[in-house]
Amino acid sequence: MIKKTILQFFISLIFISLIAFPVRVKADEGMWLPFLVERLNHTDMQKMGLKLTPEELFSLNNSSLKDAIVLFGRGCTGEVISPEGLILTNHHCGYGSIQSVSTVEHDYLFDGFWASSYAEEIPIKGLSVQFLIGVEASTAAMLEGISPEMTETQMDEILDINRKKIIAAATEGNLYNAVVKDFFNGNEYYTFIYQTYTDIRFVGAPPSSIGKFGADTDNWMWPRHTGDFSIFRVYADAENQPATYNKANVPLKPKHYLPINAGGVEKGDFAMIMGFPGRTDRYLTSHGVQLGIDKVNPAIVDIRRKKLDIMGEDMASSKEIRIKYSSKYAGIANYWKYYIGQTKGLKRLKVADKKRAQEAAFEAWVASTPETKTLYGNVMSDFDAAYKLTGENALTQTYLREAAFGAEIIGFAARAEDLKNKLSDKESKDIAVLLAKTKAMSDDFYKNYNPATDQKMLAAMLMKYYNDVPVSLHPAVLVKMAKSENEDFNEVAEEVFESSIFASREAFNKFLENPKASKIEKDPAFKLSQGFRAMMKQLSKENDAANDNLQRAKRLYLAGLMQMQPNHKFYPDANQSMRLTYGSVQDYQGADAVYYNHFTTYKGILEKEDPSNWEFVVPAKLKELFLKKDFGPYAKDGNLRVCFLTTHDITGGNSGSPVINGKGELIGLAFDGNWEAMSGDIAYEPALQRTINVDIRYVLFIIDKFAGCTHIMKELQINGL
């Protein structure tokens, strides 16, 4: 029998609030755990238009919708859409993979790509998809040995031991991988078991002029006209099991795949999304909101803008550089604009004030009884103390993440620390193996690296850190380099690149011919990486006590809110576990006198066309089809729709998620949120928050009419035409 702890008491509050008080809340808000849908949401979903049973949505024993949903790569969602393992996801989710196999001669990002047979499909090194095959409640096992008097650090040590035991048990005697995730700020735990496939091949994608139409200008904006999709295929061995790439591998036979409904959607139609949302912070306090507004977000925006300017200038000068940096640029640009929008949204919607009002109500409730005073009396003061210290270091920590390691040479040099240590150890027996791994790692790094671009980046990032971060937090090596060049960081960067073994493929390969620890130790890029790492460790140590208080306060605050509001259904923050969100197709009022329809059409593409701007180029063949109104069977009332809006609650990681109707059919792909609700990861705003989806009929139109891929069309089960 496990001793009942204060944490377990909080957990009991969660289950009481979930089971005993089934009160209706706004259906559109919430990233719900699909295995709890029957208990929490199924009745609401049926009223809105769901025709499926809970077992058809999520089952661990039988085929269900969840078996068609995959964790795509490191942070997107994909869906199986054929009995031959065909995977559909966003173009921007496949972007890095497409870039990795593009060359100046075969620029698949610019031109698009369509395999005409299995033999033409391109293997993607390093890409994987994961199928969720099991979920286990792990709260009791994770809390084994935990007691209320422990510090958070002590708890973390035991949690880490327990986590390893749980994962070992879940993966013993099989080829699965598992992860234990915490929910409700550490009040509850589940283990997720996955089957991972690594032989993934690129099947097709439209050119970026379709898949990325509007690019940075339209990113996070509505109306949208982007054909944001790409297609891959999962391969398996003869027994349908995961296998490394082999020509003998065959297309996966999935447990379930999504049929497609091409009948179209209308305002008010029920829709749901299943996927793997990455991270939300809906229970963040006013302290965290204000810190983001005042310090963290502006710093990220400023630093990333400089990075984009440097990359963009060099990308415009060379097709080779454009291909090398396309994926990097897109990743930086996406969250550069996100933080601009989030800050504006937090201010406009007065989110910090709303949080303060909630905290005031919480404090009044805590003071109402001796029991709540005992349990939660220190929560708000712990928040105050924790944020006072972490707030002082937050700006420097942001600069360390974004600027100090903003130049790729610094990050790459930092990875050489293990090699240096092994080279220093004369008794080490695995040098040859490590050198081989290092060579392979360097080949991957230098494939998409331009030294001249990174030299400019190093100069700019070191200058920003030096000028914007307090002098007391400057690493000694940075101060020394700056003084030696009279604070001219162009000269500093030039000196680093002239002498560093990491500055080019040629220099690094020469080092590998005669590797010595002393060469790494004396290297200027390595010295900078070590100086910045030491500063990170120093600030982390200074924050230890504050983080301890903050972690405890977050857990107790959420447990207290659940006890305070027993009639409210709470859902856990996103943490890249499978979630279901449901709602409907809807328009919205963006601002005073600004109304947005729930769908866009091909006409908007023609209206936005600008041949002088790469973001709004319309391919000649696409324009010809538009002008002839040669839409095939995919138009509605003679009009081809491109994208549509829903009220779903999504975030990063949901990109590529299927939008599914009440019968379990695919009607679109989620790919973005809207500008007016960029604060949504922290505070959901039902009147404003919308998910932007590419209409599956536009996807089919591009595959069929634009690309002429009849062989792909034959794989699909298409209803509603």
Q: What is the pLDDT of residue 553?
A: 95
Closest CA to 307 of 404, 242, 227, 420: 404
| Alpha carbons 401 and 121: distance in angstroms, whole number | 37
Q: Does domain 267-278+582-719 have CATH number 2.40.10.10?
A: yes
Cα(38)–Cα(55) distance, integer angstroms: 8
- Calpha distance 448→454 (Å, rounded): 11
Domain residue ranges of the chain, discontinuous segments joined by +: 267-278+582-719, 286-546
User: In 363-512, which ranges are E strands?
Assistant: none
Q: What are phi and psi of 223, to 5 degrees?
A: -80, 150
The vertex-708 CA angle with 703 and 711, nearest 5°, equals 80
Tens-digit pLDDT profile for residues 17-59: 333 333 334 447 999 999 999 888 999 999 999 999 999 999 9
Percent of residues, the chain, with pLDDT higher than 90: 91
pTM score: 0.92
Q: What residues form DSSP beta bridges with 131? A: 70, 195
Residue-level pLDDT at 431: 87
**Catalytic (active site) residue 92:** yes
The backbone torsions φ and ψ at residue 511, rounded to the nearest 5 degrees and listed phi first, read -60, -40
- Catalytic-labelled residue, pool 67, 199, 228, 548: 228
Set 100, 326, 442, 655: catalytic member: 655
Task: Report pLDDT for 4.
Answer: 34
For residue 450, give the nearest of 301, 317, 303, 302 by alpha carbon: 317
**Cβ neighbours for 161, distance < 8 A, ≥ 6 positions apart:** 145
Told to judge if 655 belongs to the known catalytic residues of this protein, a careful annotator would answer yes
Active site residue 637: no
Q: List Cβ neighbours of 369 (8 Å cut-off, separation of 6 or more).
A: none
Query: What is the SS3 string spanning 338-370?
Result: HHHHHHHHHHHCCHHHHHHHHHHHHHHHHCCCH
Q: In this predicted structure, what is the pLDDT of residue 636?
A: 87
**Beta-carbon neighbour count of residue 595 at 10 Å?**
9
List of the chain residues with pLDDT < 50: 1-27
Catalytic residue among 17, 28, 59, 92: 92
Angle made by CA atoms 330, 332, 334, in degrees to the nearest 5: 65
